[in-house]
Amino acid sequence: MFSRVEGKYDCIICNLPILNGDLPSNDSRWYSLFDPDFNFHKCLFLNGKKYASHILIAHADLDRNCSFGKLESLAEEYGWNVESYAETKYANHLWRAYQFKLKEVKDVTI
């Protein structure tokens, strides 16, 4: 995901697959919808902090399985806070446009 990225940026804007789960088939068209075990998201949160302090991402709870909470917990686990989100309902599904902010790292003097 970041193999060609160089330098530092203010923000990363990305469009990742929005369904956590296994691909229904090997047809490559499913890759745009499914992110098995949130692997793309984990890569974003792990490696994104090397390049920016903010991430903007849209996500939908298409499977109505509390995926917002899972996404927020994953971000927290990798060192990001939800700074804000805007929420809307479209096609009978709830969508959120998130802004994640990298947690501040404080120097500790002993």
Which tens digit of pLDDT belongs to each residue from 21-69? 677 777 777 777 778 788 889 999 999 999 999 999 998 887 777 788 9
Please give the pLDDT value at position 26.
Answer: 78
Please give the pLDDT value at position 106.
Answer: 56
- Between CA 17 and CA 34 the distance in angstroms is 5
Domain ranges of the chain: 12-102
Instruction: Please check whether the domain covering 12-102 is classified as CATH 3.40.50.150.
Output: yes
Read off the pTM. 0.81
DSSP 8-class letter at 104: P
